[in-house]
Structures are given as C-alpha cells and as structure tokens.
Structure 1
C-alpha cells in the first residue's frame, strides 16, 4: 500500500534549477513510489504567495500570511511564530487527507504543535531534521538580546523537540549541544543524519570558457566563496586573507558569489584597499553556479567566531560535489573543521581570526595542484559514500 509522506519546511524551490535539499528529499520519496506532499511556509518577505499545485510530481501546499507580518521586525516574527501553525492547521486539514510520516526541518518554532497535530489527526510518525537552533541563531545574529525572549523561544523549542519520534542531527557536536541545552530530550531518539544531495556524475566543464564568461583570470588559482554574505559568515576574515595574499603577491584570485547585508560593505572595503585580486559576482542560477565553482580551484568557507552552535556548512556539499578542496575559517565550537581535516581529509580549517595561519594553508593549497586534487577527490568520495539522499531517506523511513 502506498505510504503518504508530508514534508514540512520553510524552504522549497519551485523550479528544478534551484532545487534545494528539501526538494531532493521530496523527489527521492516520489521516485520510490510514495505519495509526496510538501507543506511550505513562506517565512521570508520575498517568498511566494499561498498556492496549491503539483510541481514535478510533488503536491506543494504553500502557506503565506498577510504582508503586514513581514514588515514589522521582531514583533512580526513573533506573531508569525504563533499564527503560522494555527493557520496551517486549517490549510492542512483541507488539502491533506492522509499522512503516515511527517518530516520537518528547523527552525522548529515555526511549526509549534504541528507534530502532535499530525499524530492526533493522521496517526503519523514524525521525524525532525535538526539543522539549527533558532534562539541561539538569533542571539548570534544580534537579533535577540533580551534574556526573557531568548529563554521563551528556547523553552518553546524544547517542548517541540520532545514531541518528535526521532531527531536527526548533522554531527556529534550537534547532538551534544542539543542534549546539553534542551533538557528532557530523549537521547535514544536522537541520531546523526548528515546533509544530503542527489549524487550525480559531474561532467567536466570548459574552465577557460567559464572563466572567460565571468571575466575571471585564466592564469590564477581561484579561491571561491559562494553563498550568503551576512554577519554570520564574518567574511572580513576572508577579505583579510585576500589582503595578505595580495601583499605576498600570491597567484590567487578571490571570487565572492552572492548577496547579503554585508555584500556592499565588503565590496567597498576591497575597493578602498586596492585589492585587485578580489572579484564579486551577483547571484547566479544554481546550474551556472556549479559551473563557476567547478572552474575554480579552492572552495572557501567562513563562519563567525561569535557562533555558539556547532554546524556543518551546507556549501561544503557544493565543493565536495565538484571535487574542490576546502579552506575554512571557523568558530571554536563547531566540529566541522575536525571532520573536514581528520575524517574526510578534504581540506584545511583554521580558527576564525587567525589570518596568518589561514594564509599559510592557502599557500599550501595554491602552490600544490597535486594536494588540491587529492583533497578534492577525498571530498568527492565522502560525498558519494555518506551524503546521498537515498541514505538519508532510508534512515528517516526506518521509523515507520
């Protein structure tokens, strides 16, 4: 008998060209014959309007509140936290008749009470994919400074975590953080669930043609950073690395791809310092982005030294996919650096702020193409063996 699966998320692309982790999971269940429905909360101001439609064989129910709730800062966010789950109940009852398995991903406070709602109304099992901890994330961003608000959201999340049949965390560090900061969560219900991807053969690209298209130097080692540019990334550390590399006359070009609150400031800083070894590109479609990354030589990752939660940066998957070695500037709490260097052996990591040490690692990578290839191949092997969406799906459905 065909099983019914509901994916509850705040991020789901409507076009295959922009497919994200949640899309890949939905497609994998669809391809295995499950009846798949994605319930998507339009959480951000620019997210699409409410709709119900079938996209690539997946029923997509998108829920959006009135525009007022997207323009009032913290108050609007707090109201969304409470109103979304209640409004969602009405929409879900209307459009979802059966559910055997609920899969939800964080931020958990956006789905207050919905795991119990699915248990009561559909007798569904529930699995939480835990990628981040909402109140700690907001505190690290500086969005929550009031201890009362922080404590309130933390207690709300704790209550939510207890309602799921199983919780998947990215690393051992995430599990440790969860158990230490959210009392009452049953350890036996928590397991490691790595990030995933639809593993495909990556066809070679004409690197010269790609570089020419984006006016990138042909004769330099390109170190690429692709993704959001906010205070969470603390990208001034990468810009400082670029400055040291420029002064040392390294044969390296730094490429930043993306947008964010820090983009303009970073670009102005690079210009003011005369860093001719730095290039900025706006957002490019996912398929084109992969080509640019593939035409580069080193993948850059940067996280703020102020972060208090261990993480496994999702952009690392993009680098692993195309066999790109990684150079990472990381906070002190994450275990990603140890995993990258010691377990996967796919790059180097340095504590954020240690610019000269980061530059030393850059010189090792930029001057040794054989080392870059060995680390890139190790990343690709890890991608193929550990990060498949099929493995993640099998772990999730084991609760049925």
Structure 2
C-alpha cells in the first residue's frame, strides 16, 4: 500500500467521533494518522446529516437507511437487502474521485459485497475483507434461518462471492481460518490471515475507585461486568441461570450495560424470577464505560451455546485495557476459550449452558485476588503489544502490499 493512498471503508455502524467510537472508527483514525485520505460510507446518525461530511479529518458519506440495529430479524433482513442500492446511489452522488487505492469491507453485512465488487472493478482497486461475521451460518445457528432454504442459498452465494472477490481476508482467529477453509473448499487459502480484534487504548482510571464503586452500588460485591449488545447471540438467559445459583451472602453482582433486541426479555425474566444480583443499565459513552470496568472485578463474555462458528468477541479488549480478568461463558466450537485461558492467560472459560461449571470459575476467581490481578496484567500486556489499531493497520498494510 503506497503512502497517501485513498481508502474507502464500507461501514455498517460508524458513530460520530469523538462523541462515540468503535473498533472501525479506531482503525480509520489510524489510517488517517498514517497519512492516507480516508472516505467512509455509513448510515446516518441523525437525519439532518445526509451526504458528505467532514468528521475529524475523515470524509464520511452519511446514507439514510432503514433501521439496521436493534430491530427484529425481518426488518433487519429487508434493511440489509436494500443497503447496497442505497450505498451505491450515495457513492455515485458524493464520491467525486478518479482514483481509489483500497476498499475495506467488514462483515456484517455480507450484502455490501455488491458495492465493493462494483467499486473494485470501476477503480481497479484492492479489496480487503475484515471477516467478523460468518453469515449465513450464524443465522442458522440461532434458528433465524433454515439451512438449504431460499434465503440461505441467496446469502450463501453472496458469501462465496465475498471470498472470491476479496484480495485479502483478515480473520479473527485460527479457528475462523480453519472454518472458512473447511466449508469453502474453493477459497484461495493464501488470502486468509490473522487480523485479531483491536481497540485504541484508553488511559487507566486514576480517580477515587472506592467512590466510583459506591456510586454504582458495587459495595463489597464481586462485580462481574458485561458491556455490549444484548441480543440472541449473547443469550444472557444463561447468565441469569448462573446468577440464581448464588446466595445474597455470596456477594456476587452481575452488572450489565447495553442495549439490544433481547433486553426487554432479559429485564422481564429478572423481574419475574426476582433475581436480586443482576443490574441492567443503558449504553454509556466508551470512556465512562471503561471507568466502570476499571472498578469491576471481572469482565463477562456470553455466547449462545448453539454456535458452530468460532466467534471472538471484541468486548474482551475493554477488559484487557482495564486490567481485569475475563470470564467467558461460550460455546464449545469457538477457540476463544483457548486463546483467553491458555494463550493469553487472561481469564477462564466454561460452556455457556453449564451454569454450575460457570459458577465454579467465578468461585475460583473471587477466592484468588492475586490470580485475578495476574490475569489482568497478562491481558493488558497482550492488548498493548498485539491488538491496538496500529497493529491492525500494519497487518492490513503488509497484506495489501503482498496481494497480487
């Protein structure tokens, strides 16, 4: 990738910097800071800002779309099918350039391959795929789609096209690479390489931790925090089953921060079962959330037990950043548990549908403060040395340079 390259990123969710951020805003800021001209195509944050806007030195084409997040599967499906047409129309109107060096496309959504393929052909650009969602199989795993059905076959063809058109494919883990190869024998394996999740480092909370714990009524509890989407993939019903195993005198508190399609259902279950040791809060700005994490005792990962694809949740990076251990309640098909427990040595894991085993892991952590501290340090060391946006930028840069 040459210096001062022109980059176009096709985003599904791209919040306004600096009000909010995610792993993709972090990466685009890194491309900007490395001297590249960055364009982003993304849904509107509010309806008054449709079109080309300058956001923190990045050219952002905001597109009015149907709701894409926190909606039911039918609404989400329709919105994703329409998305490529909406993006293509906006690009034609606002992207006035005679050159484009690199297109970066993440999954989800898989439907944007049509736009990426059109841009690649028009500008003779390289296409880098960030594979973060193996679709449509994940929808099959969650019972949202029937394998072999018309909709499944439609998206499966899109998936094949995705792997064929991309020049390079960055995968979250070796398990992801192995899965793609096993289920897609025609893919060129030399395209596949590791691109772990990344996150910008946030300074450690340096104010009064005791006061912050008191503010959120953590008191002397062992606080297990969860932040992010509350949807089908997370299946937090499994965590409620674990919470019910603890008695009030155990002083274990589950603190959940986020939004999602299953939030109302989870809140209803908490009320119906009168579960006293689970608290749910709305989403918070990243810095505020990171401060709360810093005074928690453990960071929670929860994945649906029916997954057959290897998911690697990015939220663990916030836990690494805060130097707290990770508790992973996950399916047995992901290699995430091996990475966390055996490679990084930053936490423990148990099958997500085995509440008693998860409780054993919690009991291990809360009875071993020194172990928790060491795991937190291990996670932080891994984080700053391997998975910052600069590390990810260097991977993309080297792979694009290698691609023929």
What secondary structure is seen at the aligned counterpart in 1 of 2:129?
strand
Q: Shift of residue 93 of structure 1?
A: 3.2
Q: Does 1:233 align with 2:207?
A: no
Residue 309 and residue 72 in structure 1: after superposition, are their counterparts in 2 closer, same or farther (change >3 A)? closer
Contact 1:82 1:112 (8 Å CA) reproduced = no
Q: Shift of residue 55 of structure 1?
A: 0.4
Alignment correspondent of 2:329:
329
Contact 2:198 2:314 (8 Å CA) reproduced = no
Contact 2:51 2:94 (8 Å CA) reproduced = no
Residue 55 and residue 151 in structure 1: after superposition, are their counterparts in 2 closer, same or farther (change >3 A)? same
- Aligned equivalents of 1:71 and 1:374: distance in 2? 37
Alignment correspondent of 1:165:
167
| TM-score (ref. length: structure 2) | 0.91
Contact 1:69 1:79 (8 Å CA) reproduced = no
Relative to structure 2, which stretch is displaced further, 76-85 or 329-338? Answer: 76-85
Alignment correspondent of 1:17:
19
- Aligned equivalents of 2:73 and 2:195: distance in 1? 31
What secondary structure is seen at the aligned counterpart in 2 of 1:198?
coil
Contact 1:326 1:348 (8 Å CA) reproduced = yes
Alignment correspondent of 2:307:
307
Q: Shift of residue 383 of structure 1?
A: 0.5
Residue 78 and residue 311 in structure 1: after superposition, are their counterparts in 2 closer, same or farther (change >3 A)? closer
Relative to structure 2, which stretch is displaced further, 117-126 or 295-304? Answer: 117-126
What secondary structure is seen at the aligned counterpart in 2 of 1:308?
coil
**CA RMSD after TM alignment:** 2.4
Contact 2:202 2:287 (8 Å CA) reproduced = no
In structure 1, list runs of 5 or more residues that go unmatched.
none
User: 1:1-50: per-residue Cα shift (whole Å, max 9, x none)?
Assistant: 621111111111113231111101111011111111111146x9x88863
Contact 2:132 2:172 (8 Å CA) reproduced = yes
Contact 1:140 1:232 (8 Å CA) reproduced = no
Contact 1:70 1:76 (8 Å CA) reproduced = no
What secondary structure is seen at the aligned counterpart in 2 of 1:99?
coil
User: 1:323-355: per-residue Cα shift (whole Å, max 9, x none)?
Assistant: 110111101110000111000001110012211
- Aligned equivalents of 2:374 and 2:67: distance in 1? 52
- Aligned equivalents of 2:240 and 2:47: distance in 1? 31
Q: Shift of residue 68 of structure 1?
A: 9.7
Q: Shift of residue 391 of structure 1?
A: 1.2
- Aligned equivalents of 1:371 and 1:182: distance in 2? 41
| TM-score (ref. length: structure 1) | 0.91
Q: Map of 1:347-358 to 2, 5 A cutoff? A: 347-358=347-358
